[in-house]
Amino acid sequence: MSKVVVDKMAMQRALTRITYEIIEKNKGVNNLVLVGIKTRGIYLAKRIANRLQKLENKEVPVVGIDVTKYRDDIQHTDNEPAVLSDEAVSLKDKNIILVDDVLFTGRTINAALSAIAELGRPKNIRLAVLVDRGHRELPIRADFVGKNIPTSKQEIINVQVDEIDDQDSVEIDEK
């Protein structure tokens, strides 16, 4: 019994608006690096980079990170690499935009901050999420939000992206 709360057009609009807001806050694309988390965050980061390129005619680098190693809430082995990228990447003095699909307890982002700490000291880090579902367990907040979707803890938010799920949507499901 799932309900679609964000459809393809709404997701596109949300990403477009986030892109404009990033340009506003960052005063352009100088020194910008988009860091996408795990799977879907990386595809969303790539879409934002694509939009930035169309507006400003400049390539903004996209880096993918796997934060499992730093999580404190899931069992994991300690040997996974953090950065999912072939070239060596330094985030020193850069303006980072962390990108993820859903912001919930905040523990993933906390793990991401630890991961980034290993890649150099950035100038600043801002957070962009497609969906903020509330229920934070840590003092973490997003700078750019696609959609605020208040949920109960019994509900599950399911984000699908065209690149791997063959459709763009955000659905709410009962557990």
Partner 1 sequence: MTTRYLILEDGTSYKGKAFGAEATTTGEIIVNSNMLGYQEVITNQIYHNQIIVFTQPSIGNTGINHKSFEAIVTNSKGVVVKEYSNISTNRLGNLNLDLFLKQHNIPGIAGIDTRELTRRLNRKQTMKASIVDMDDEHAFDQLHATVLTNQQVNQVSTKAPFPNTGDGYNIVLIDFGLKYGILRKLADLDCNVIVMPFETTSQEIFDLDPDGVVLSTGPGSPRDLPDSVLQMIREVQKEIPMFAMGLGHELFALANDANVYKLDGEHHGSNHPIRQVITNQIIYASQSEGYAVDPKSIIHDQLLITYVDLVNGTVQGIRHRDYPAFSVQFSPDGGPGPQDSADLFEEFLENVSSQRR
Which residues are at the interface with partner 1 (CB under 8 A)? 9, 12-14, 16-17, 19-21, 23-24, 27-28, 51, 54-56, 145
Q: Tell me whether residue 70 or residue 144 sits nearer to partner 1 (CB atom).
A: 144
Cβ at position 163, least distance to partner 1 in Å = 16
Q: Tell me whether residue 116 or residue 149 sits nearer to partner 1 (CB atom).
A: 149
Q: Tell me whether residue 14 or residue 62 sits nearer to partner 1 (CB atom).
A: 14
> How far, in Å, CA of 129 to CA of 140, rounded?
12
Residue pair 52/32 in contact by the 8 Å Cβ criterion: yes
Name the 3-class secondary structure at 134. Answer: coil
- Amino acid letter, 55: L
Cβ at position 67, least distance to partner 1 in Å = 26
Q: Tell me whether residue 60 or residue 65 sits nearer to partner 1 (CB atom).
A: 60
Question: Is the Cα torsion angle 163, 167, 168, 174 positive or negative in sign?
Answer: negative
Cβ at position 19, least distance to partner 1 in Å = 6
Which H, E and C letters describe 1-20, residue by residue? CCEEEECHHHHHHHHHHHHH
Q: Tell me whether residue 21 or residue 38 sits nearer to partner 1 (CB atom).
A: 21
Q: Where are the strands (E) in the chain, listed by range?
A: 3-6, 32-37, 62-65, 95-103, 124-132, 144-148, 155-160, 169-174
Cβ at position 98, least distance to partner 1 in Å = 18
Cβ at position 120, least distance to partner 1 in Å = 28
